[in-house]
Structures are given as structure tokens and as C-alpha cells.
Amino acid sequence: MQELDGEPALRSPELPAVLGAAGGERPVRLFEVGDAPTGLVFPTRLRPFHLAIGALFVLVAATGALLVGPADIPPGAVLAQVASRIPLLGVHSSLSATDIAVIWQLRMPRVVLGGLVGAMLAVAGASYQGVFHNDLADPYLLGVASGAGLGATIAVVYLPHLAGLPIDPLPLAAFVGAVTAVVATFALGRSGRGGRGATSLILGGVAVGAFFTAAQTFLQQQNTPVLAEVYTWILGGLSTAGWQQVLLVLPYVVIAGAALIGARRLLDVLSVGDDEASSLGVRADLVRLVVVVAATLGTAAAVSVSGLIGFVGIIVPHTVRLLAGPSYQRIVPLSVLYGAGFLILADLLARTVVSPGEIPLGVVTAFLGAPFFLVVLRRSRRLA
């Protein structure tokens, strides 16, 4: 057994006590599911410098995204404009009304929305990986994407007359579709012989995903003029971001994010396997339910305003894992920060690479995500 961070390694029976300890300060043994203990240990405590680096990353990404754009406003003028809104600083800004609108009505909400969506997708991905013991689990594992896609298609095909209303039916329909798909997955997963296990849920997600995707494809095929609109939504993006969308998604991200951060220690317990977790007094099925409900609601809200942005839920948690170790007590909160920073930067690329044109954000994240995926696969093979 090795020692990390100068703290003693554990000998197995102490696990519940450690996990119950404030701050999860000691290392935890890592077991492979269903196997004998591997003997690996890792630190779990989230250190201030981890948070500081994450916060700095978000700050740098957000500042960069705020300063750069096709409107070519000098960066100094943007900073002065932002500073002029901070009381007591006494900074004066002399930008035109158009430039002020660009900064406060377009760039700022876009940066904030990108941060919220990225944080939500990343923390949901990390949590899914925790409860399903699967490194490749992402927020769309249980049918959120196909459900949201079907909901969006229904809105485009059947509710176009509502498009002019103050509340846009598309995000609402996407949200309802996503939640419906996950509820169906749970119903299907629990009806299986395997009962409440992770595998039956994942299989349920595969079946529900296929069914919802088929329904969506059928609807699109029957209504070919909507193809472009649905396709645009599926590719994901923040091109129409405004404060309204920020307000729409904010409560979900805050509540779901808080719930998942609150459950981070239990995710470490689940990493030893359902049976082992039960023997330690943790109800794996209940934890899984709470985590999945929080992650699903948050993800559904995020995709309802941003469309389907892939890979964030995989890239970010794995990067955090590489940087800060495998404990969910670190991965979950840090995924919030790195997810926010990552999506803000990806969106900056989406709107600047072919400026003044845009690339769909989902294309950018997939472009970065696919090679990263390969790296993760190679690394996990080496570890195995």
C-alpha cells in the first residue's frame, strides 16, 4: 500500500468512517467492481489550489470570450465598458449604443449561458460515470438526447404557430421530451430481471434512445421542410443566446449542480460496487435515482436552450480525472468549473474561426472530443 499526500492508506473496514468524515480528507481504497481490492489508493480532499486553478480557467475563458468577436470592439474599450457598470470605480466608457448592445445583450449572456451549459453537462457526465461505473457514460446515456430531439422535432412540426409567443415552445418541448425519455428508461430498466442495477438501466436507455430516435426520424421524414431547423438544433449552439435563456436554465443548473456536488462522496462509495456499497450502509439504487434525477433535469434544461452539444460530459470529467485523480470528491466540483471554461472557449472558437460566420458548437466540441476520446481509451488500456 502506498501513501499519498502524506496521509496513511486505509485497510478496508475503515471505509465508511472515512467517507463519513468531514471533507473526505483521507485516501480511499479503489476496488474494481466485483473484484478483489486492487490495492490502489488516491487522495480525495479537494484542495483550495484545485478550486483556484479551476476558477482562474473560467475567468480567463470568460474574459477572452468577452473581449473577442466579429464586432471588433477594442479589448480595452470592452473592459472599460464592463468596469463602468461597477459602482464606485468611476470608469467612464464612450462606446456607441451598438457596441454596448453587443457587449451586454449578445456577448455577456452568451458567455454566461455557455458557462452554465458547460458546467451542467460536465458535472452530469461526471456523476453518470460515477453511478454507472462506466468511464464512457455521458449525460445522454439514458435517452436525454433522443428525448430532447423528439421533443424539439414535435415543437417544430406541430407547434410552429406558437413560435411567436413570449415563451418559445421549442426548449420547453425539448425539456419535456428529455425527461420523458429518462422516465421511460427507468421504467424499462426496473422492469427487467436484473431489477435496479446499472446495466439494466443502461440497456433501457439504449432501447428508449433507439425508439425516440426512430420516432424523430419518422416525423422528420414526413415533414422534410423542417429538416434544416431540426438539424440546426441538433448540432447545438449558442448563437441566439440572451438573458432570457440564462434565466430559464439558471435554476436547474444551480439546484442540480448543488445536488450532485452534495452527492460527491456517495459517488466514491458507489465506485466500490453496489453490493459493497450496500454492505457499507449506502443504498446504491437510491443514490443512483437521486443523482440521475438531478443530472437529467439539469441536462434537459441545458440542452433545451443549447441543442445537443456532445462530448463535454466526457472530455471534461476525464481531463479533471487526469489532473486531480479519480476521487469524485474532486471530479464533481472541478467538472463544474472546467466544464464552464471549456464550453466558453469552444463557443469562442465556434464564433471566431470563420468569423463573421459561425460553426455549430456541437461540431467544435465533437472535433475536440473525438481525438480526446482516443487518448482516454489508450490510457485506460495502458492502465488495464
Partner 1 sequence: MTSADGVVPIARRPGRILCLTASGTQMLYAIGAGKQVVGVDKYSTYPASAPRTKFTGYESSAEDYLPLKPDLVILSFSTGTLISQLRKLDIPTLLLPPATTVQGTLAQLDELGQATGHLQAARRVGAKLVEFLHHEAQQAHGRGKGKSYYIELDPTYYSATSKTFIGAMFSLFGMRDIADAANKASAGYPQLSAEYILRADPNYVFLADTVCCHQTAKSFAARPGFAGLRAVKAHDVIPMNDSVASEWGPHSMETFVRLLVSVLEGRFHAPAPTAASG
What is the spatial distance between Cα 11 and Cα 28, in angstroms, rounded to a whole number?
Answer: 9
- Which contiguous run of DSSP H or E holds residue 346? helix 328-352
Cell numbers standing for residue 378: 489508450
* Residues between 36 and 55 that touch partner 1 (CB under 8 A): none
Identify the residue among 6, 164, 193, 381 touching partner 1 (CB under 8 A).
Answer: 164
Rule CB under 8 A: is residue 74 a binding residue for partner 1? no
- CA 55 centroid distance within chain: 17
Assess contact for 141 and 126: CB atoms under 8 A: no
Q: Is 165 helix (H, G, I), strand (E, B) or coil?
A: coil
Rule CB under 8 A: is residue 171 a binding residue for partner 1? no
Rule CB under 8 A: is residue 225 a binding residue for partner 1? yes
Assess contact for 19 and 28: CB atoms under 8 A: yes
Rule CB under 8 A: is residue 257 a binding residue for partner 1? no
Rule CB under 8 A: is residue 161 a binding residue for partner 1? yes
Identify the residue among 82, 116, 351, 369 touching partner 1 (CB under 8 A).
Answer: 351
Rule CB under 8 A: is residue 214 a binding residue for partner 1? no
For residues 240 and 279, which CB has a smaller minimum distance to partner 1 in the complex? 240
Q: Which stretch binds partner 1 (CB under 8 A): 126-134, 190-198, 313-321, 352-360?
A: 352-360
What is the spatial distance between Cα 51 and Cα 49, in angstroms, rounded to a whole number?
Answer: 5
Buried b (16+ CB within 10 A) or exposed e, 267-288: bbbbbbbbebbeebebebbebb
Q: Is 263 helix (H, G, I), strand (E, B) or coil?
A: coil
Ramachandran area for residue 260 (φ above 0: left; ψ -120 to 50: alpha; else beta): alpha
Rule CB under 8 A: is residue 279 a binding residue for partner 1? no
* Residues between 54 and 73 that touch partner 1 (CB under 8 A): 69-72
Taking the complex as a whole, the smallest distance from the CB of residue 239 to partner 1 amounts, in Å, to 5
Tell me which residues touch partner 1 (CB under 8 A): 69-72, 97-98, 101-102, 105-107, 109, 160-161, 163-164, 221, 224-226, 228-229, 232, 237, 239-240, 242-243, 351, 354-360
